[in-house]
Amino acid sequence: MSTKLNSQALISYFEKWKKQIDDEIYFGRQPFSKSEFDYTLRKLIDYIPLASANYGLFLTPKISRFDISSQIRVSRFESDAALAEALDRMPLEEYPNYLRNQRYKCTKYKPQMVNLEEVVGAIGVKRWSEISTSEGRGLSSVKNMVENISQGFFDPINPDQSPIKLLKTPDGKYFVETDGRHRIAALKVMGVKYIPALVSEYYES
């Protein structure tokens, strides 16, 4: 009886921190050794389908801070208006409706180096300067990210943020799903070309 209760308590703990666990699974802060703990953890996360499905990525090295200093072309903007103008000059395509057809499926998310020139849009976004209408989550958020990124580093693992998640269409274009729209806008407007991100690819079933 106590074993069952302990197992349920552990499962509840992992479910509570599932978002953080998913990030760890995808990018792996530390490779795990083949130990009894490793075996026990595998048995435990079998209760969590998303975590269990990606268990193999526990063994991948961590993608640490990514140096983008040599890629930055623009590090500051004179005003909010100048930033908004620069954002709106960037091409933006609408998420293709045909992918909503049930015959199209998505692969599991996997870490991948992405060319930001191929990131052509974000779901639900019609202008890069108007990613969100929520207070503090629009242009001001992009501006803050530009200031942070201008230091020359991009951290794929940030305790306060989910990894950037991209959807890749059959014709090779990328769209930001939900996590990472502001960061993508900031990186693109600064001229950064390559970053690591999580990518799920569409395929026709």
For the stretch 139-171, pLDDT in tens is: 999 999 999 999 888 877 665 678 899 999 999
- Residue-level pLDDT at 162: 80
pLDDT value of position 50: 45
Amino acid at 107: T
Residue with tokens 């479910």: 15
Segment 51-61 shows an average pLDDT of 44
Burial 168-203 (b: 16+ CB within 10 A, else e): bbeeebbbbbebbbbbbbbbbbbebeebbbbbbbbe
Does the pLDDT at position 114 exceed 90? yes
- Does the pTM exceed 0.85? no
Which DSSP state fits 60? S
Say what the pLDDT of residue 16 is.
Answer: 58
Two tokens, residue 145 = 């990210």
Model confidence at 93, pLDDT cuts 50, 70, 90, reads: very high
Residue 183: pLDDT over 70? yes
Give mean pLDDT, residues 22-26. Answer: 50
Q: What is the mean pLDDT of residues 190-205?
A: 92
47 has pLDDT over 80:
no
pLDDT for 91 beyond 90: yes
